[in-house]
Amino acid sequence: MKKLIAILLSAMFIIGAMSVTVNATDSFETPHIEFIFEDGTSLEIQNRIIADLTGENDGAAAYGLTCTLFGHKLDTGTTSAITHNASSTAPRCLQKTYSYEICTRCDYSEYTLLSSKYIYCC
Ligand SMILES: [Zn+2]
Ligand SMILES: [Zn+2]
């Protein structure tokens, strides 16, 4: 199931460039999350972030033997997740900015919420 989601998300990345919309339905009123990545964020990292922050990841991190012995190979940066129509009154969209540490060799990932605010966008 996880693999299928990853494939679907990859297909969406090809269509949308840096701004990716994860849309549950086409209904305008349904909250949906849009991720904004820094330039140069790899697709693999983008997929990991989306899976982690949308709860697709089961949370059971499997650390590789190499990481256990030598430490993680970390990719760090910041990302924003905008939940559109999160509130019924204006401003309606919730923007959360995170800094992340993601190991490119295993399932380790760590997120720090930098800011959380409602914005006018929709
Ligand atoms: Zn690791
Ligand atoms: Zn919005």
Query: Mind listing the pLDDT tens digit for each residue in 86-120?
Result: 999 999 999 999 999 999 999 999 999 999 999 99
Ligand 2 centroid to 92 CA: how many Å? 7
Ligand 2 centroid to 26 CA: how many Å? 14
Q: How far apart are CA 105 and CA 107, in angstroms?
A: 7
Angstrom CA distances, 97 to 8, 11, 34, 116, stand at 24, 25, 12, 7
Q: Are 23 and 32 in contact (CB under 8 A)?
A: yes
Q: What digits encode the pLDDT tens for the residues 38-62? A: 999 999 999 999 999 988 776 667 7
Provide the domain count of the chain: 1
Ligand 2 centroid to 69 CA: how many Å? 44
Both tokens assigned to 98: 């995170």
Alpha carbon 96 to its chain centroid, in Å, reads: 11
Range of 83's domain? 2-24+31-119
